[in-house]
């Protein structure tokens, strides 16, 4: 069981991360949302069987939905199994949804899931408001990472 301390807060148990999100988007804002899941989906997540690489969120009638989140079927669930890429509802406060609606309506912004994890036994997803990067932005970021890595190597050789 994950222990908690006053300084750290509740520990989160990561299931899946979207590694391409920070490469393809400038992340402007983030939110934590709960997921509406079935029992077989939760059991499959506890086994670490999820992929959020192609997932994205949409706003529909004042509610937020997550599309293309792939949760593999749970093998022991037999006929009570779930569809792997079904649309899943996200649980957020109304204030957060209103802020998202205002942000997403601006040009070029989209909601991307950054990480899927368990927090206090509940499945959560970290949503990011992203603006697509241009090719030159991606190149600049890669050059910056390479330069930082070279500097770190030089420091470690000297020490």
How many other C-beta atoms are found inside a 10 Å radius of the C-beta of residue 44? Answer: 24
CATH class of the structural domain 15-133: mainly beta
Task: Give residue 8's pLDDT.
Answer: 64
Mean local confidence (pLDDT), 18-29: 87
Q: How far is CA 90 from CA 21, 111, 151, in A?
A: 19, 12, 42
What phi and psi, each to the nearest 5 degrees, are found at residue 54? -100, 5
- How far is 72 from 115, CA to CA, in rounded Å? 17
Please state the pTM of the whole predicted model: 0.77
Distance of CA 10 to the CA centre of its chain: 18
- At 109-145, the pLDDT tens digits run 889 999 999 999 899 999 999 888 888 888 888 898 8
Q: Please count the CA atoms within 13 angstroms of the CA of 61 that sit on its side-chain side.
A: 1
């Amino acid at each position: 069981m994950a222990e908690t301390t006053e300084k750290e807060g509740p520990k989160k148990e990561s299931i899946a991360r979207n590694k391409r999100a920070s490469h393809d988007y400038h992340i402007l804002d983030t939110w934590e949302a709960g997921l509406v899941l079935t029992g077989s989906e939760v059991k499959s997540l506890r086994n670490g069987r999820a992929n959020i690489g192609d997932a994205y969120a949409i706003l529909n009638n004042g509610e937020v939905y997550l599309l293309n989140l792939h949760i593999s079927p749970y093998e022991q669930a037999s006929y009570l199994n779930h569809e792997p890429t079904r649309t899943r509802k996200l649980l957020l406060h109304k204030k957060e949804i209103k802020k998202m609606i205002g942000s997403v309506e601006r040009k070029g912004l989209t909601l991307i899931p950054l990480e899927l994890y368990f927090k206090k036994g509940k499945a959560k997803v970290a949503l990011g408001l992203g603006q697509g990067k241009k090719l030159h932005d991606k190149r600049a970021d890669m050059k910056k990472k390479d330069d930082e890595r070279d500097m770190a190597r030089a420091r470690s050789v000297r020490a």
